[in-house]
């Protein structure tokens, strides 16, 4: 999952550094992730993982770091299993 997220971040994040060089807990917004890029990233993640972000997870906290994105995707996948 981490590698897939990093690939999407490199492709869609518009960051000045490659996602492979970013620490897992680094603040992506401080590095340069814009609101527009975070929406593009969200759409890419939805497609790549065949998920849909629920409204309560559409916030800055869900995309602040690679770790946060992984936790959010994992949570959505877990909620889908339970449903």
The span from the CA of 68 to the CA of 38, in Å, is 13
Cβ-proximal residues to 72 (8 Å cutoff; 6+ apart), any chain: 53, 57, 62, 63
pTM: 0.93
Specify the number of domains making up the chain: 1
* CATH number of the structural domain spanning residue 39: 1.10.1200.10
Per-residue tens of pLDDT for the chain, all 83 residues? 999 999 999 999 999 999 999 999 999 999 999 999 999 999 999 999 999 999 999 999 999 999 999 999 999 999 988 86
Domain that includes residue 27, residue range: 2-82
């Amino acid at each position: 999952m981490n590698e897939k997220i990093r690939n999407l971040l490199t492709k869609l994040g518009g960051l000045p550094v490659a996602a492979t060089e970013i620490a897992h807990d680094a603040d992506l917004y401080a590095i340069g992730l814009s609101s527009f890029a975070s929406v593009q990233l969200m759409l890419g993640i939805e497609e790549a993982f065949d998920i849909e972000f629920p409204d309560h997870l559409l916030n800055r906290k869900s995309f602040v770091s690679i770790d946060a994105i992984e936790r959010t995707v994992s949570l959505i996948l877990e909620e889908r299993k339970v449903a």
